[in-house]
Structure 1
Amino acid sequence: MAQATNHFQIIGGEHRGRKFPFPDAPGLRPTPNKVRETLFNWIQFESSGKVFLDLFTGSGALSFEALSRGAEQVISIEKDFNAFQNLEKNRKKLKSDNLQIIHSDALDFLSKKPTQIFDFVLLDPPFHQKILEKVLKQLSIEGFLTTGCKIYLESEFEITNNFLNQEISQKIKINQQKRSGQVHYCLIEVL
């Protein structure tokens, strides 16, 4: 396994300040602290006791932040084996039974009907590979998006209602949207 020389730090909640290592992997870029802080400010009164699905877990920054801020359960999907192994090590350090890490490709995971309802879906796919479009379509087709579900998206382009309506069959609205450097991020809600 590649030596984990990079770190992210939990910025709020029960585990605030704890640092976790993660390995170098192609396309792996943890959500920056400023962006994570904005996201969790947006959902601060809604995340406690909720179920999160993190489809491109990577370093684990979003999953671990959700746990720290009171998520009841986080299901984390990661296809890179080194990143997956590292996530398992970090889960053991955190001593959390509320985090399930699955070694799978996101689209393969989404090809199976959901066995539970997710309150939040976190999407931070690799940029410039047109994966976001496929994942949104699959989430919609397979029934992962229920009324009231919120989806957090990171992309290299601005998310528009027009774009979302092409990929998602359910009625949706953009609740919040910002940009930080080259990263566009938003929170949408299924109506």
Structure 2
Amino acid sequence: MNRPSSPRRPSPASTAQAPQEVRIIGGQWKRTPLPVKNAPGLRPTPARVRETLFNWLGQDLSGWRCLDAFAGSGALGLEAASRGASEVTLVEQDPSLAKGLQAIVTRLKAEGSVRVERGDALAAMRQRQGAALDLVFLDPPFGDGGNEALFRSALQAARGAIGVNGLIYLEAPVVWTADALASLGLQVHRQGRAGQVAFHLLRTLAVD
């Protein structure tokens, strides 16, 4: 079985306490702070990575239907909503984090476009098989050694939830190879690395 390239141990900087807040960087809620709870495994996507991602996606996501499957701080899904996405679902299993996300959505008066769903990310994606979503965000807990089984399950579930032209954003501790992604029916559209984090924008594998 083809695997992602070998994981690296997190550096001391990457295992430090999470920042207490991050900020939305574009759109109608630009500069809005999002509190970050000190929760195990919570690792908000850095601003420079989000900026790169939304440069790839385009600044205007009007009409997009998105799912933030491991929402955490909500930074990815709320960034999409801030830039015009018409439907964003934030899925978070931790009850405290889910409650915090709902408070943010209420504060932003975003109930018309953003929904918080407390539950398992894999189950949420599997329930949406064939939903033809435009974008699924995947930023699962890294875990010791890369948590490859969770990542493979998440990618497989997300693949079934997006449309023909849909996209999957994946954040991981390793770079996923073309062969590993092809086995899941996916291919790289864009990718990059920031410190110990590899980030990928994926689409369905083209069929000849």
TM-score normalised to the size of structure 1? 0.89
Provide the residue aligned with 1:135 in structure 2. Answer: 154
Provide the residue aligned with 2:107 in structure 1. Answer: 93
Q: Which residue, out of 23, 26, 39, partners 1:9?
A: 23
Provide the residue aligned with 1:160 in structure 2. Answer: 177
Alignment of structure 1 residues 18-167 onto 2, 5 Å: 18-44=32-58, 47-96=61-110, 97-114=112-129, 116-127=131-142, 128-130=146-148, 131-140=150-159, 143-166=160-183
| % identical aligned pairs | 37
State the distance in 1 between where 2:87 and 2:23 align.
Answer: 20
Secondary structure of the structure 2 residue equivalent to 1:119:
strand
CA-atom RMSD, angstroms?
A: 1.7
Secondary structure of the structure 2 residue equivalent to 1:100:
strand
Amino acid at match of 2:31: G
Q: How far has the Cα of 1:113 moved from its partner?
A: 4.4
Contact 1:107 1:135 (8 Å CA) reproduced: yes
Q: How far has the Cα of 1:77 moved from its partner?
A: 0.6
- Please list every run of 5 or more consecutive structure 1 residues that lacks an aligned counterpart in the other structure: none
State the distance in 1 between where 2:153 and 2:192 align.
Answer: 22
Contact 1:22 1:86 (8 Å CA) reproduced: no
Contact 2:66 2:85 (8 Å CA) reproduced: yes
Q: How far has the Cα of 1:46 moved from its partner?
A: 6.0
- Please list every run of 5 or more consecutive structure 2 residues that lacks an aligned counterpart in the other structure: 1-18
State the distance in 2 between where 1:14 and 1:122 align.
Answer: 20
Provide the residue aligned with 1:189 in structure 2. Answer: 203
TM-score normalised to the size of structure 2? 0.82
Name the structure, 1 or 2, with higher relative contact order (CA <8 Å, separation 6+): 2
Amino acid at match of 1:63: G
Q: How far has the Cα of 1:115 moved from its partner?
A: 7.0
Mean Cα deviation higher: 94-103 or 14-23 = 14-23
